[in-house]
């Protein structure tokens, strides 16, 4: 029986300023993390057990996934089934501009559901993905983007209201801010407990419960976001490794691929060469 080949294809569209990617034949688990951007995706094939913000789901072909910035989530295969998945990543500023165009209102949207089973909108994600991949005329790509977002915003989003959101208490917020400001340093648990006066054990429990990730996983996610931006700006992978607090390039490459599915150099080529990048094995 032939071995299933894992493939990862990532594209960046400079007209729309959004990222599209396709994962196929994937058996890899994805660890707990969050993104700084919105994700609109759908499962093309396979079955996955997904955990997002403490809620658990089994998702299959035809299901749509919606992630807000900072929605922590992780997933793994079910019964050894391989994953085929397409998604669109949209930075908050691009999303905000689209919302103004579509609704005439100035607000950041908040997806009210993370999983929509057997969604009728899923084919629209595929249409946008194909338009980007096959370098369709700009008008066609713009139509596909706005058609998709209009459906999602109308049915599964509301204006973001921070007062209605579960959010960390003031001390945990200070810890998050400290991590964001010192992400390139060798942060210790002693430093974090000094901010809160919590014991180490209590801080770990409180932080993980309120943020959805442990302090170290939160630090890793911040480093990943900073690394992606630095790579997009053209910094060499070895420089980015040290800029973002990794001990060496090997550690950075292993970590980056665990989360993104591509090496830092492969990811950077998307932006430097203005082209599609893939990873097959």
Domains and CATH numbers, the chain: 7-163 (2.60.120.810), 166-280 (1.10.10.60)
User: In which region does residue 32 sit, left (phi positive, over 0), alpha (psi from -120 to 50) or beta (all else)?
Assistant: beta
> Which residues make Cβ contacts (< 8 Å) with residue 9, sequence separation at least 6?
21, 22, 133, 276, 277, 278
Q: Determine the pLDDT at residue 1.
A: 40
Residue 5, C-beta contacts closer than 8 angstroms, at least 6 positions apart? 25, 280, 281
pLDDT along the chain (281 residues), means of 10: 69 92 84 91 94 94 95 90 92 94 90 95 93 92 94 90 64 93 93 91 90 90 91 91 89 86 85 59 50
pLDDT at 260: 80
pLDDT tens-digit series, residues 123-182: 999 999 999 999 999 999 999 999 999 999 999 998 876 544 557 888 999 999 999 999
pLDDT at 212: 86
Give me the DSSP letters along 258-277: HHHSS-HHHHHHHHHSSS-E
Q: Cα(141)–Cα(195) distance, rounded to whole angstroms?
A: 48
User: pLDDT per residue over 10-26, tens digit each?
Assistant: 889 999 999 998 988 88
The pLDDT of residue 161: 61
pLDDT for 269 equals 84
pTM of the predicted model as reported, rounded to 2 decimal places: 0.80
- State the pLDDT at residue 163: 45
Rg (CA), the chain: 19
Distance CA 67, CA 115 (A): 9
Q: Taking Cα atoms as reference points, which of 260, 263, 197, 280 lies closest to residue 37?
A: 260
Secondary structure (3-state) at 161: coil
């Amino acid at each position: 029986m032939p071995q299933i080949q894992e493939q990862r294809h990532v594209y960046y569209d400079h007209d729309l300023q959004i990222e599209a990617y396709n994962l196929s034949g994937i058996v890899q688990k994805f660890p707990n993390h969050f993104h700084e951007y919105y994700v609109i995706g759908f499962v093309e094939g396979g079955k996955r057990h997904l955990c997002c913000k403490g809620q658990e789901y089994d998702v299959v072909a035809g299901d749509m996934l919606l992630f807000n910035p900072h929605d922590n989530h992780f997933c793994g295969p079910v019964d050894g089934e391989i994953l085929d998945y397409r998604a669109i990543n949209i930075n908050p500023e691009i999303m905000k501009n689209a919302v103004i165009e579509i609704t005439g209102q100035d607000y950041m949207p908040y997806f009210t559901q993370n999983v929509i089973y057997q969604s009728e909108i899923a084919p629209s994600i595929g249409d946008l993905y194909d338009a980007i991949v096959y370098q369709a005329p700009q008008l066609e790509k713009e139509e596909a983007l706005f058609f998709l977002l209009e459906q999602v915003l109308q049915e599964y989003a509301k204006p973001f209201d921070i007062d209605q959101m579960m959010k960390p208490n003031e001390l945990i917020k200070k810890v998050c801010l400290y991590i964001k400001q010192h992400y390139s340093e060798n942060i210790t648990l002693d430093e974090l407990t000094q901010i809160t006066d919590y014991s180490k054990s209590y801080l770990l429990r409180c932080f993980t419960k309120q943020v959805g990730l442990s302090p170290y996983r939160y630090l890793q996610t911040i480093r990943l976001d900073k690394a992606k931006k630095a790579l997009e700006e053209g910094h060499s992978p070895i420089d980015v490794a040290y800029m973002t607090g990794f001990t060496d390039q090997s550690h950075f490459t292993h970590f980056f691929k665990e989360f993104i599915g591509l090496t830092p150099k492969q990811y950077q080529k998307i932006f430097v060469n203005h082209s599609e990048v893939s990873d097959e094995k």
